Amino acid sequence: MILTIEHGPVREIRLNRPPVNALSPELISALAQAAESAPQQGARALVLSGSPGIFSAGLDVPCLLKLDQPSMNQVWRSFYGLMRALACSRIPIVAAITGHAPAGGTVLAIFCDYRVAAEGDAKLGLSEVQVGLPLPPLIFSALRRLVGARQAERLGVTGALISPEEAAIVGLVDEVVASDQVVDHALRWCESLLALPSTAVRLTRKQARADLVEAFAQQTIDEELSQVTSWWWVEETQDALREMVQRLAIKKRG
C-alpha cells in the first residue's frame, strides 16, 4: 500500500493502493507509522506522493460503511493519529499532489509543510458536507490557517472541489506544475530547506507550527472524537454516504 523511495536525505512515501489510493483502515495505520518512523530511520524530510492522476480519493467509504460502531470509532481515532503524525512531524513534509485529492486527500495535504499540485483537471477540496459530514473542527482550523477565514468558510460550507490553479490562488496549494514534475519540485523544495542552517530552520519551524501541535493535544482530540464519531451515524449522513457509493458503482459500471 505504500512504496518507500529514498532520495538521499529525503524519503518519498508513495501511496500505492489502486485504483484511487482510498484510505482504508490498513492504509491509514501504515501511513501514520511511515511518517512517525521516518525521522528515527534517518530521513531529514518527507515527500508524500500518489499515483499519476490520483493523489488520494480520501476515506474508503464503501469499506467503512461495512464496519460496526466500535470499529468505525477506531478508524476515526486512527485517522486523527495520522493527521497528528503529519502536523507534528519533527521533519518537514511536502505533499506532492499528483492528481485528484478530494476530501481526505486534501486533509493529508493541509497538514504538510508545503503542497505541490499537478496542473490539469484534478479536483481538490474538503467535500465532506456534500456527503452529510460536518467538517471536523481540527480540519477546518487547518484549512483556515492556510486560506484565511473567508475562503475557509466558502470552501468548507459548500464542500467545493476546485482546480489546482484555483487552489493556488486561494492558498490551498503552494505550487502548480506539470504532472510529471510534481515529485521533482517537491524534492527540490526539501533540498533547498535542508541546505539552510539546520538549527535556525528547526527552531523557526517549531515556532511556525506551534499552533498545529497545540491543536493536537490529546485532550482536544479525545473531546473532538466523541463529537465527530457521532456524526458518522446520523441517519442523514448514512443516507448521503450510501447514495454516493451507489453513484460511484453506477459510474464504474457505465
Would residue 218 count as lying in a domain?
Answer: no
The answer to whether position 236 is within a domain reads: no
Q: Is 222 inside a domain boundary? A: no
- Count of beta carbons in the 10 Å neighbourhood of residue 71: 11
With a CB cutoff of 8 Å and minimum separation 6, the contacts of 104 are: 23, 56, 57, 58, 59, 79
244 in any annotated domain: no
Could you report the per-residue pLDDT of 128-181, keeping only the tens digit for each? Answer: 999 899 999 999 999 999 999 999 999 999 999 999 999 999 999 999 999 999
Q: Among 14, 11, 94, 183, which residue's Cα sits nearest to residue 3?
A: 14
Count: domains in the chain = 1
On whether residue 243 sits in a domain, the answer given is: no
254: pLDDT strictly greater than 90? no
**In the chain, % of residues over pLDDT 70:** 100
Is 47 inside a domain boundary? Answer: yes
Cα–Cα separations (whole angstroms), residue 113 to 116, 119, 188: 10, 20, 14
Domain membership of residue 170 (yes or no) is yes
Structural domain containing residue 139: 2-198
Model confidence at 114, pLDDT cuts 50, 70, 90, reads: very high
| Mean pLDDT to the nearest integer, 201-209 | 97
Does residue 246 form part of some domain?
no
Q: Is 176 exposed, middle or buried (0-12, 13-18, 19+ CB in 10 A)?
A: buried
Can you give the CATH number for the domain in which 178 is found?
3.90.226.10
Read off the pLDDT of residues 21-78 as tens digits, 9 standing for 90 and up: 999 999 999 999 999 999 999 999 999 999 999 999 999 999 999 999 999 999 999 9
Q: What is the 3-state secondary structure (H, E, C) of 214-254?
A: HHCCHHHHHHHHHHHHHHHCCHHHHHHHHHHHHHHHHHHHC
253 pLDDT band, cuts 50/70/90, is confident
**Cell representation of residue 53:** 492522476
The answer to whether 54 and 74 are in contact (CB under 8 A) is: no
